[in-house]
Structure 1
Amino acid sequence: MQLFLMRHGEAGFDAPSDRERKLTDAGRTQTGYMANWLAKQISHFDLVIVSPYLRAQQTWQEVSKHLSEPRKWLVLDDVTPSGDAIRAVDVVLAYAEQYKAENVLVIAHMPILGFMVSELVAGIEPPLFATSAVAHIDKHAQNASFVAMTAPHQVVV
C-alpha cells in the first residue's frame, strides 16, 4: 500500500475554536501546489481519510480538484490534532484493508501526523510537517518504509 499523510494548508487563527479555523489564501495556494504534485505521483486514491476540522476539509476540497474521485472517502475524528496516533494508524489500516485500498491519502494535523509516521515506520522519530506537506510511506504486510517528505516550497510549479 502507498500511504500519503498530508498536513492541512496554512490556516488563520481568527475563528471561534480550533476546529473552525479556515485556510488562508496562502494555504489554498500551497495546497494547490501539493495537489498537482500528488497527481503526478499517483493516478488515483482508493481511500481518502480526512479530519472533520474545517481546515482539513478545505484542504481536501482543494486537493480533490486535481485528482480523480476516490473509491471511498471518510471523515474521521480519529485523525484530529489531539487524536491517539496508535488508534489512528489502526483505524486507517483497518479501513484500507476493508476497502482493499492500495493508495491511501490521509489529510490531518500536527502533531498526530508525525506520531503516525513513527508508529508506521520502525525506528523513525516523529517528523515535523510543514503546512500542506506530504509524507509518503510504502507499507507492505508488517513492514513499512519512509519514502519521502515533500513540502510546497520543494515543488516546482
Structure 2
Amino acid sequence: MQLIIMRHGEAGWHTLDQERSLTDAGRRMVGTVGHRIAESTWRPARIWSSPYIRARQTAGILSEILNCPVEEKTFITPDDDPGACLDELLASQVSPLLLVSHMPFVGVLSTLLVDGHRQGIPFMTAQAVLLDMPVVGPGCADLKDQFLP
C-alpha cells in the first residue's frame, strides 16, 4: 500500500478550532503541493479528509488537481488515536491513498508506520510524505518521498 499523509494548509485563527478556514497563502501552498504530487508517479486513487473545515478545504483543492474523490473520516482529527486509523487502513483496498489531517495526528501516524512508536515528527502546513508499506502495520513503512510547499 502507498499512503500519502498530508497536513492541511495554513489556516487562520479567528474562530473555533474545528471551523478554522484556509488562508489565501494556505490555498496557494496546498495547490503547489497538489501539483507536485500530480507530477509524481504516486497519484492517489482516493483522498481521506478530517471533517474539520481546513482539512476539507485542503482535500477539495487536491481533489480538483488530482481528479480523485474525497471521503470524510471522523477518526483522523488532531487528537485521534492513530491505532483506529491503522485499523481502517488494514481494511482499505485503496492504494495509493492520500490522507489529509492535522498535527499532532499526522506526525504520530507517520512515526507509528515508519518507526513503530508514537512520538511524532513535526509537519509544516501543507507538507506531505509518501509511505510505501508492503504490509500495513507499525514499523512496516518506508519513507519514499516528501512534498513541500
The residue number in structure 2 matching 1:12 is: 12
State the shift of 1:123 in Å. 5.3
Distance 1:11 1:4, change over 3 A: same
The residue number in structure 2 matching 1:155 is: none
The residue number in structure 1 matching 2:144 is: 147
Is the contact between residue 44 and residue 69 of structure 1 (CA under 8 Å) also seen in structure 2? no
Identity %: 34
Question: What count of residue pairs does the alignment treat as equivalent?
Answer: 145
TM-score by length of 1: 0.85
Q: Is 2:111 the counterpart of 1:107?
A: no
TM-score by length of 2: 0.89
Provide the C-alpha distance between the structure 2 equivalents of 1:93 and 1:110, rounded to a whole number of angstroms: 22
Is the contact between residue 44 and residue 68 of structure 1 (CA under 8 Å) also seen in structure 2? no
Q: CA RMSD in A?
A: 1.7
Is the contact between residue 42 and residue 96 of structure 2 (CA under 8 Å) also seen in structure 1? no
The residue number in structure 1 matching 2:22 is: 23
Name the stretch that deviates more: 135-144 or 32-41. 135-144
Provide the C-alpha distance between the structure 2 equivalents of 1:85 and 1:2, rounded to a whole number of angstroms: 17
Provide the C-alpha distance between the structure 1 equivalents of 2:34 and 2:111, rounded to a whole number of angstroms: 24
Residue-by-residue CA offset, 1:43-78 (whole Å, 9 max, x unaligned) = 6422311000000000011111211224xx321111
SS of residue in 2 equivalent to 1:65:
helix
Structure 1: which 5+ residue stretches go unaligned?
Answer: 153-157
Is the contact between residue 114 and residue 143 of structure 2 (CA under 8 Å) also seen in structure 1? yes
SS of residue in 1 equivalent to 2:58:
helix
Is the contact between residue 131 and residue 141 of structure 2 (CA under 8 Å) also seen in structure 1? yes
Provide the C-alpha distance between the structure 1 equivalents of 2:74 and 2:42, rounded to a whole number of angstroms: 27
The one-letter code matched in structure 2 to 1:11 is A
